[in-house]
Structure 1
Amino acid sequence: MSHRQFAPLDYVIFGACLFISIGIGVYHAFKGRHHKTTNEYYFGGKTMGAIPVTLSLIVTYQSSVFLLGMPAELYVYGTMFMWILVGVSIGFVLISLLIAPLLHPLDIKTVYQYLELRYNHHAPRKLASFLGLVVVAIYLGLVLYGPAIALVTVTGFPIWGSFVVVAVGVILYTSIGGYRAVIWADVFQFCIIIVGLLSILIKGLMSLKELNFLTVAKESGRIDFTEISFDPTVRHTVWGLVIGNAFHFFSLGYSQLIVQRILSCKNTSISKRSVRSTIPGFIVFWTSTCTLGLMAFSYFYERGCDPLKSKMIKSPNQILPYFVMNIFEEVPGLPGLFLAALFSATISTLSSGLNSLPIITWEDFLKPIIPTVSDGKTLLIGKCLVILYGGLAIGIAYIILHTGGPILQVTQATFGCINGPVVGMFILGATFRCANYKT
């Protein structure tokens, strides 16, 4: 089975979406050049409304990891993974009820400042900050790796080239535009992702013609929601996906990426509403991407050609882009729109991370050493740190390139290993009044 390559129109659409994102950063850089402060640069002056914050929260975690990983998961292992939607919903309800009202009223700039205030000692803050830097840096490498796989699948573009092009673009608009550039670029990227997903869903249904993809998936054993085993070696169970992901996404509420958005809201009520409003967005996004996995399975099953088994693609992460290039074979422009949606998901997450890592580095590590630096020099240091962490993300993406395995699985394992101890420190401090930094 063959598929066509990118047409000139595809490159135009893909390139235009990237340039608009960069343009948003440039606009906010010039708009706010006379009143730029660290509060404005990292938190948008703490005057943000619910809608842009909600959309930013959604696309920050609707990264290329999930846009590629979820269809691959459904294609290979079936629908048990969709129980994650229940776990995610519970997790974000808990963030809204417990974390937003706890942290928003505090005069803090990083989530880890709470630990020093709570335990009255700098050691818990330093440890958690270091682990937070590590997990976000690894995550940025993962999301940078995702679209590179898609790009090489549909265009043959070198993977290293993808790393550099995306990272440089994001570094540019994040460093010069700050938090407002990140937020409003996220809103634009949200729209691109929606249009891209809808296009693939509609064209996918048209390509399947009279074939009922749900029937094919069921007959092939891909539809199953009933695995309730307590065996930890079973890949997906109801308990693991619901309870495990409820705790996993609740733990994300203690990450700087989410807390920075909580703190940027005008008041606590808006911050709580913003977090709750993400739940319908995640359900729509992830139901759509899971559906695409089943569509891809039925499409290739009908044609008697599994691209994985036939070695036409090397990784399950390439299933969706390969499917897209086949169904859009006669429709120039739409593969470019898909790739723009995929890169938009990456750019939003990467820009959020690159806006968060410098404030953690400055507030938790550098400021205690050099406390008398002016606000202007602090901003300059922050911009330099954006460039530094962007380069680090490229290096980590190269390392991940040689690890193999489903990208979603690698991401979940990384977050679980590193986030677990950090979340334990927060929950212990918030739950037990007798807890201190020693016990």
Structure 2
Amino acid sequence: MSTHHTTVGEFTVWDYVVFVIMLLVSAFIGVYHAIKARGQQSNSQFLLGDRQLRALPVAMSLTASFMSAVTVIGTPAEVYQFGAMFLIFCISYAVVTIVSAEFFLPVFYRLNITSTYEVLYTGIVIYAPALALNQVTGLDLWGVLVATGLVCTFYCTLGGLKAVVWTDVFQMGIMIAGFLAVIIRGVVIQGSFERIWNISYHGGRLNFWDFDPNPLRRHSFWTIVVGGSFMWTAIYGINQSQVQRYIACKNQFEAKL
């Protein structure tokens, strides 16, 4: 009986370089917007970017906010263990996008509020990458937590929402580059994307369509589309991270877009 040991990769010098550069660029964006505003920012300018933001950077910022380490680390593990049924959430996203844009957004946009804030989620999304970094670098968990929190607080406090949005745009680019690197590396190791697809199919993970009406199932078409629509409406429709960016757009059309 053989025992298989899983080797956990550790950070190399270049990994540390990328990590430090990412923190420095994020901090620099905050400093840049603080200098650009020269301390003359009103509450509206600081919290809402003077309501002059465009759809694309705001969309990327929203994606970065909810494409957290919880998603990046958790979704592949979920699909690997329980199958691709999870991807049916795309249908509920489509429903929720329309509901949020047509019903919730116009109300918040006209109210001109600045905060519906919740703190718990922010703590979770900072803890998840800190835990991952702790595993691959050996750095103290609380040290990583404090450092990450300080950098985020630094650029948010100095630059306001504009700094948050453009830092998210930068970080989204890093995430996409990481996803592509993993996909390309996987294809290189396995020889082709077709081979990866076949392995997934024969491993029973391409279980996209399950119409079992049992509400106790972990994932089925109905639990994901119906349950997921209600869940994501609460997030996309009224969550502070979303609402504050919606109403920072230069007009309601840009916000809906």
Task: Provide the rounded CA distance (Å) in 2 between the counterparts of 1:199 and 1:207.
Answer: 12
1:270-349 to 2 correspondence within 5 Å?
A: 270-273=254-257
Q: Does 1:199 align with 2:181?
A: yes
Gaps of at least 5 residues in structure 2 are 1-5
Could you report, residue by residue, the CA deviation over 1:407-436 in whole angstroms, capped at 9, with x for unpaired residues?
xxxxxxxxxxxxxxxxxxxxxxxxxxxxxx
Shift of 1:110: 3.5
Could you report, residue by residue, the CA deviation over 1:63-82 in whole angstroms, capped at 9, with x for unpaired residues?
11111110010111111111
Q: Does 1:18 align with 2:23?
A: yes
Q: Does 1:182 align with 2:164?
A: yes
Out of 236, 241, 244, which is 1:260 matched to?
244
> In the alignment, what sits opposite 1:67?
72
Out of 106, 113, 126, which is 1:144 matched to?
126
Q: TM-score, normalised by structure 1?
A: 0.55
Q: Does 1:220 align with 2:225?
A: no
Shift of 1:3: 4.6
Task: Provide the rounded CA distance (Å) in 1 between the counterparts of 2:106 and 2:7.
Answer: 54
Shift of 1:21: 0.5
Task: Provide the rounded CA distance (Å) in 2 between the counterparts of 1:3 and 1:255.
Answer: 36
Whether contact under 8 Å (1:6, 1:155) holds in the other structure is: yes
| Counterpart amino acid of residue 96 in structure 1 | A
1:245–1:4 CA distance, 2 compared to 1 (3 A): closer
1:219–1:33 CA distance, 2 compared to 1 (3 A): same
SS at match of 2:79: helix
Whether contact under 8 Å (1:22, 1:169) holds in the other structure is: yes
Q: Does 1:208 align with 2:190?
A: yes
Task: Provide the rounded CA distance (Å) in 1 between the counterparts of 2:130 and 2:149.
Answer: 11
> In the alignment, what sits opposite 2:82?
77
Task: Provide the rounded CA distance (Å) in 1 between the counterparts of 2:115 and 2:137.
Answer: 41
| Counterpart amino acid of residue 246 in structure 1 | S
Q: Does 1:45 align with 2:50?
A: yes
1:255–1:196 CA distance, 2 compared to 1 (3 A): same
> In the alignment, what sits opposite 1:161?
143
1:7–1:102 CA distance, 2 compared to 1 (3 A): same
> In the alignment, what sits opposite 1:102?
107
> In the alignment, what sits opposite 2:212?
229
Pick the structure with greater CA Rg. 1
Q: Which runs of 4+ in 1 moved over 6 A?
A: none
Task: Provide the rounded CA distance (Å) in 2 between the counterparts of 1:77 and 1:4.
Answer: 25
Could you report, residue by residue, the CA deviation over 1:2-26 in whole angstroms, capped at 9, with x for unpaired residues?
3542221211111111110111001
Task: Provide the rounded CA distance (Å) in 1 between the counterparts of 2:36 and 2:174.
Answer: 24
Shift of 1:105: 2.3
User: Is the deviation greater in 16-25 or in 53-62?
Assistant: 53-62
Whether contact under 8 Å (1:91, 1:248) holds in the other structure is: no
SS at match of 1:151: helix
Shift of 1:32: 0.7
Whether contact under 8 Å (1:44, 1:264) holds in the other structure is: yes
| Counterpart amino acid of residue 212 in structure 1 | R
Task: Provide the rounded CA distance (Å) in 2 between the counterparts of 1:227 and 1:167.
Answer: 41
> In the alignment, what sits opposite 2:3?
none
Q: TM-score, normalised by structure 2?
A: 0.91
| Counterpart amino acid of residue 261 in structure 1 | R
**Number of equivalenced pairs:** 250
Shift of 1:35: 1.6
Task: Provide the rounded CA distance (Å) in 1 between the counterparts of 2:130 and 2:113.
Answer: 36
Shift of 1:181: 0.7
| Counterpart amino acid of residue 26 in structure 2 | S
Task: Provide the rounded CA distance (Å) in 2 between the counterparts of 1:207 and 1:153.
Answer: 24
Whether contact under 8 Å (2:112, 2:247) holds in the other structure is: no
Task: Provide the rounded CA distance (Å) in 1 between the counterparts of 2:86 and 2:143.
Answer: 33
Could you report, residue by residue, the CA deviation over 1:281-332 in whole angstroms, capped at 9, with x for unpaired residues?
xxxxxxxxxxxxxxxxxxxxxxxxxxxxxxxxxxxxxxxxxxxxxxxxxxxx
Task: Provide the rounded CA distance (Å) in 1 between the counterparts of 2:120 and 2:41.
Answer: 30
**RMSD (Å) for aligned C-alpha atoms:** 1.6
